[in-house]
Chains A and B, each alone.
Chain A
C-alpha cells in the first residue's frame, strides 16, 4: 500500500518513496554545485589576468571538472528530483518502480564519481566537450555513460509515473502545466541521453583501443546533440519551475493554458535542433542544414521562450492586479515580495535568462554574426547567463521553497537568504556581461593565458580586453560568495534548521525515510481540474490585462533589435572595403 503525507502548509501530497528520492537527488545535486563552485573560483582567479592563479595543466584539469560537474551533474541530479516532484507530488500519485529509481540514482552517483576521479587523476583534461582526437582516460567516458544510463532510468520512471497516475485516476482532465513542462524536459532528456550514448560509447571503445579512429566532424555533430540539448532540458525544466513558483507565491494561473502548452510544443519540435548553432563555422555541413536548424527551427524555439517570458510575469501581474495592486503599470511589480528569496531568485532567473541569455543566444545562432564571437569567451558569457542566472537561480528559488515543504525544516539565516539571490545575480551578471564584452574583442575562451606569452604567434589584445576580464573576475568572486551563501543556507537548514515535523531528523534530510507515523495509507483525493474561469474566461478585449508585462516585453524587443544591429555593424567592420 502506497503511503502519503500531506504538507500542512501547502497541501501538497508526498509519496514516501518519491519523497526520499527527491531529497537524495536534490542533495546530490547541491553537492555537485558545491564542487563546481569551488572549481569556479579557481577558474575565475586564473582567467583574471592580474591574478592568473593556476599553472596551465592544473587550469585545464580544473576547467574540465568545473564544466562537467556544473553543466551535467548539478543540473541533471536536480532535474531528476524535479521530475519526481512533478510526476508524483503534483499528480498525487505513487511513484512507479521506486527500486528502479534508486538503481538509477546509484548509477548516477557511480558514474559521476568515476568521471570526476578520471579528471582529477590529471590525464583527462579534455574539457566537457572532450573533442577527439584528444583522448581521456577510459573511465572518463565510461563514467559519463553510466551516469547517463542512471538518468535515463529516472526519465522512464517519470514516464511510468504518468501512466500510473492516469490509470489510477489521480487527477482530472489534463496534467497540470508544470507537469506538462517537466514532461517536455524529460523527452528532451531522453533524446539527449540517447545522443550521448551514440557518441560516448564508440569514444570509450576508441579510448581502450577497440576502434581505431573517430571522425572529428562526426564526433562534433553528435556530441552537440548531447551537449546543447542537455542545456535545453534545463530550459524546459526551469520554465516549469517559473510557472510553479508563480502559482505558489501569487496563486497565479497561466494567462492562457493553450498558449503556454503550445509554446512547450514548439520546444518539443524545434528546441533540440538549435544544437546546430555550435557547428555554424564547421566545414562539411551545408548552408541548408545550418540555416534550417538555426535560422528557422531555432527561432521557433526562441519564440516559445519569448511566450513563456511574457506569460509568466503576465500571470503574476494578473494575480497581483486581482489583489488590488492596480496603480500605474508597475505597482504589481514594485510590491512583489522582493525579500522572499523564492520569488526574487525566480524573477531574476526569468529576466536574466531573457535579457542576457536569450538575446545573446539569438546572436550566436545567426550564421553571419556568430562568426565574430565564435569560440571566444563570449560563449561562456552567454551560457553563464542561461544556465547559471536562468537555470541555477530557478533551482535555488525552488530549493528555498522546498526546504520547509519537502525537507520539513525551517530555513536558517533568513536575512542572509533574502540577500543571497541579489549577491549571486550581481556577480554572475558581471561575469556574463563582461565575458561577452571581452569576447566581442576576440578574447579566446578556455585559454589559460589570454596574452599568449612566449607564443611565436602571440596576439596583442587592446588594454580594454584586460580590463573587461578583470571586471569579470571581480564578478566571478562575488558570484562564488553568493553561491557559498546558498550552500551554507541550504545545507545548514537541512542540518541545523528547526524541525517543522518531529520525524524530520538529520538522516531524513538526506533521503532516509521519515518514520511511518508521518504517513497514512489513505489515498489522496483526486486532483481536480483547473477551473476554466481562472484560466481564460476573464479575458477582456477592451484593455490589456497585463500592461506592465507588455511594456517589459517591448523593452526586451527594443533591446534585442538594437543589440542585433550593433552586432551586424561589428561584422561590417571586420573586413574593411576599399
Chain B
C-alpha cells in the first residue's frame, strides 16, 4: 500500500499542475457548458427578448 501511495506521488510530480487541472473532466464539463450558455444562448436570448414587439 505504501508503495502504491509513493507511485501515485511520483506520478503527480511528473504531471504539471496545469495538466492536473485539465485532467478533471467535471471542470472541463463546467467550462464547456458555461461558455456557450453565457456567450451564445443567454446573450442571444436577451437580445431577442428585448426586441420591441411590432404594433398590429
Query: Using a CB–CB distance below 8 Å, which chain A residues touch chain B?
Result: 159, 162, 169, 172-175, 183-184, 186-188, 190-191, 194-195, 198, 215, 217-218, 221-222, 225, 229, 258, 261, 265, 268-270, 272-273, 275-276, 279, 284-286, 289, 292-293, 297, 529, 532
Contacts and interface: CB of A to CB of B under 8 A. Distances in A.
A285 B25 CA distance: 33
A190 B29 contact: yes
A298 to B, nearest CB: 11
Contact of B15 (A173, A284, A293): A173
Nearest to B7: A172
Given A174-B15, A285-B47, A289-B47, A221 B41 contact: yes
Contact of B25 (A159, A222, A275): A159
Given A217-B48, A265-B22, A289-B47, A195 B41 contact: yes
Interface of B: 4, 7-8, 11, 14-15, 19, 22-23, 25-26, 28-29, 31-33, 35-37, 39-41, 43-45, 47-49, 51
B35 A268 contact: yes
A390 B2 CA distance: 48
A110 to B, nearest CB: 26
A265 B41 CA distance: 20
B35 A183 contact: no
Contacts of B36: 191, 225, 229, 272-273, 275
A217 to B, nearest CB: 5
A284 B51 contact: yes
Contacts of B31: 268-269
A215 B48 contact: yes
Contacts of B43: 289
B34 to A, nearest CB: 9
Given A222-B41, A261-B19, A275-B40, A159 B29 contact: yes
What DSSP secondary structure best describes chain B's contact surface? helix
Contacts of A532: 14
Nearest to A172: B11
Contacts of A186: 25
Nearest to A232: B36
Contacts of B48: 215, 217-218, 221, 284-285
B12 to A, nearest CB: 9
B44 to A, nearest CB: 5
A286 B4 CA distance: 56
Contacts of A297: 39
Contacts of B22: 261, 265
Contact of A273 (B14, B26, B29, B40): B40
A292 B43 CA distance: 11
B11 A194 contact: no
B18 to A, nearest CB: 9
B47 A286 contact: yes
Contacts of A217: 48, 51
Given A217-B48, A284-B48, A184 B23 contact: no
Contacts of B25: 159, 162, 183, 186-187
Given A218-B48, A285-B48, A289-B43, A173 B14 contact: yes
Nearest to A279: B44
A559 to B, nearest CB: 30
A239 to B, nearest CB: 15
A382 to B, nearest CB: 20
Contacts of B37: 191
B45 to A, nearest CB: 7
Considering residues A188, A190, A270, A273, which has the most beta carbons from chain B within 10 angstroms of its beta carbon?
A273
Given A218-B45, A225-B40, A269-B35, 7 more contacts: A159-B29, A173-B15, A183-B28, A268-B32, A268-B35, A270-B35, A284-B48
Given A172-B11, A173-B15, A174-B23, A187 B44 contact: no
Contacts of A276: 40, 44
Contacts of B23: 174-175
Contacts of A187: 25, 28-29, 32-33
Contact of B40 (A175, A215, A293): A293
Nearest to A171: B11
B37 to A, nearest CB: 7
B47 A284 contact: yes
Contacts of A293: 39-40
A183 B23 CA distance: 10
B10 to A, nearest CB: 9
A174 B12 CA distance: 9
Contacts of A284: 47-48, 51
A286 B48 CA distance: 9
29 contacts: A159-B26, A169-B8, A173-B15, A183-B25, A184-B28, A186-B25, A187-B32, A188-B32, A191-B33, A195-B41, A215-B48, A217-B48, A218-B45, A221-B41, A221-B44, A221-B48, A225-B41, A261-B22, A265-B22, A268-B28, A268-B31, A268-B32, A272-B32, A272-B35, A273-B35, A285-B47, A285-B48, A289-B43, A289-B47
